[in-house]
Structure 1
Amino acid sequence: MPEAAHHISSAVISVRPGNLQDVLTELSKLDGVEVHATGNSKIVVVIEGPNTGVLGDRLTRMALLDGVISANMVYEHIDKQEVAET
């Protein structure tokens, strides 16, 4: 049987002091991105998508946001599910 995969990763984003709220606002606009914690100019997010490429693209978009110093993926999990053939 073929498999479908769902990718889930976590990332830590470091932001310039004073830019935390602006970055949080921009992150809320990204599909498949959920903020789980903030503190000391750092943001922990979970990113979900159909493949590693999508996760990488979202991480790159986060890294390019105004006020972001760095965005680093910490962990990735691939949830594989069997797909019934029709």
Structure 2
Amino acid sequence: MTRRALFTGASADASSQDHDHISSAVVSVLPVHIEAVSARLLGLPGVEIHHRSEHKLVAVLEGPGSGALGAMLAEISSWPGVLSANMVFEQRLDQDN
């Protein structure tokens, strides 16, 4: 079940099993690149931006596991203008609820 489905009360479907981990991350960005990085983040599946400042983004990521989320953050870290992308919190969603 995805985080959205959990919070909205929607039932799980087969595709929701692809996103059974949730993580928050802080992405530090050079101010001149904040727009481009924000747009690129929002283009990734399972990513939402929940806070934005001049040089930092707080994002929530959903994925199939810790490894996938870590790989996503490693990729984000390599984008132009990104100084760092660090996981702050990660949790496996309980599939039984």
TM class by shorter chain equals 0.7 to 0.9
Scaled by the length of structure 1, the TM-score of the pair is 0.83
Native 8 Å contact 2:34 2:54 kept in 1: no
How many residues are aligned here?
Answer: 79
Q: Larger Rg: 1 or 2?
A: 1
Q: Distance in 1 between matches of 2:52 and 2:20?
A: 25
Aligned pair partner of 1:22 in 11, 33, 36: 36
Question: What's the % identity of the aligned pairs?
Answer: 44
Q: Deviating runs (4+, > 4 A) in structure 1?
A: none
Scaled by the length of structure 2, the TM-score of the pair is 0.74
Extract unaligned runs of 5+ from structure 2: 1-16
Higher relative contact order (CA 8 A, sep 6+): 1
CA RMSD of aligned residues (A): 1.5
Richer in helix (by share)? 2
Q: Does 1:63 align with 2:67?
A: no
Extract unaligned runs of 5+ from structure 1: none
Q: Distance in 2 between matches of 1:24 and 1:51?
A: 23
